A = this chain, B = another copy of it.
Amino acid sequence: METLNERKKQILHAVVANHIQTADPVGSRTVARAYRMGLSSATIRNEMADLEEMGYLEQPHTSAGRIPSQRGYRYYVDHLMARGKLGDEEERSISRSLSLEKMREIEQIISNAVRVLSSVTNQTTLIMGPQFQKSTFQQMRILPLDENRGLVVLITESGFIKNKVIELNQSLSPAELHQVVTYLNQKLFGLTIDQVTTSLINELKRDLFRRLEILEQAFILLEESLREEQQARVFLGGTTNILNQPEFKSVEKIHRMLSLFEQESLLFEILEKGLSEDGIAVKIGTENECKDIHECSLITAAYKIDDRVIGTVGVLGPTRMDYRWIIAVLHCLVDQLNRMLSSDL
């Protein structure tokens, strides 16, 4: 990628900024006027022709202005964009909407966050719910409900609670049950759920068989509790916001997007990419692997509980989106989220 001279940078910046605001192709005249840099439109025109040749801009049709290409946006995000700053009111509004929910369950915090984020950004937002798998086992309990049913409760350090009603083998006495549970708690404590693999379970099983020989059921339940919810829920907000974007005015496009939104597993895959990277990631257009969002950009940020990344929050919009602003909002939100989740328990 050849480097751009200062003037080209300025012009590219101007085109991107203007197009983000207006959604229209921006002409040389507009650039010359609005960002007066002592040049005539003709000069700008020449520069813009250069930029187009280099692949940073493109023309919808011959006699229209230019719009940034995907590459143009990428350059903007990487080199041109200043770091955005949130207004005080906005920051306060975010933290207010979240902290109202202070004492609630983790799921409620998340689903609230997704709502706040979508209403602030006016985009579609998605949050990958906390990854049960990533958090560490704390304890497991079995509550007998009646003669042949019991409630398994699985608790992780970060406060997740999973429960499940299971059939209890009636040949299992309460004392035996208690013994098994105690043993399991000892063995599993401190492992992440990911680490509780089937092979580990089998190992434990062998181990226990030597002492108690009627535990098949108890293990089945453990395996089941773990297998279940392999994949976290995805929370989705502001789906209708894309309808406000002029780039989605056609019914088929809307249809394609909304169909995507109905497929939780796809959304999960999309967000999962952001799990690995700490900090904020920007995927523009075809940089996204999922081809349904090749006309969109996705900005994701990871959030944590106690320095352990457990989920991602993302904003999805047209490639023409206000990267600067949205990144700032995401920063703010994730900060708050991290604080809340860590302090809350």
| Partner-B contacts on A (CB < 8 A) | 105, 139, 141, 143, 145, 151, 153, 155, 159, 161, 163-165, 237-240, 243, 249, 251, 254-255, 258-259, 262, 345
Say whether, besides A153-B153, A258-B243, A143 and B145 are in contact (CB < 8 Å).
no
Q: Within the complex, which residue of B145, B155, B255 is in contact with A145, where a contact is CB–CB below 8 Å?
A: B155
Once bound together, how far apart are the Cα atoms of A105 and B139, in whole Å? 22
Which B residues are CB-close (under 8 A) to A249? 251
Q: Is the beta-carbon distance between B251 and A239 smaller than 8 angstroms?
A: no
Q: Is the beta-carbon distance between B262 and A243 smaller than 8 angstroms?
A: no
Number of copies: 2
Once bound together, how far apart are the Cα atoms of A345 and B249, in whole Å? 49
A-B residue pairs in contact (CB < 8 Å), sample of 19:
A105-B164, A141-B143, A143-B143, A145-B155, A151-B153, A151-B161, A153-B163, A159-B165, A165-B345, A238-B262, A239-B258, A239-B262, A240-B258, A240-B259, A240-B262, A243-B251, A243-B255, A243-B258, A254-B254
Q: Within the complex, which residue of B141, B145, B238, B239 is in contact with A139, where a contact is CB–CB below 8 Å?
A: B145
Known: A239-B258, A240-B259. 5 other contacts (CB 8 A): A153-B163, A238-B262, A240-B255, A251-B251, A258-B258
A18 to chain B minimum Cβ distance, whole angstroms, is 25
Once bound together, how far apart are the Cα atoms of A259 and B143, in whole Å? 43
Enumerate the 4 nearest inter-chain pairs by beta-carbon distance, A residue then B residue, closest first: A240-B258, A243-B255, A240-B259, A141-B143
A65 to chain B minimum Cβ distance, whole angstroms, is 25
A216 to chain B minimum Cβ distance, whole angstroms, is 16
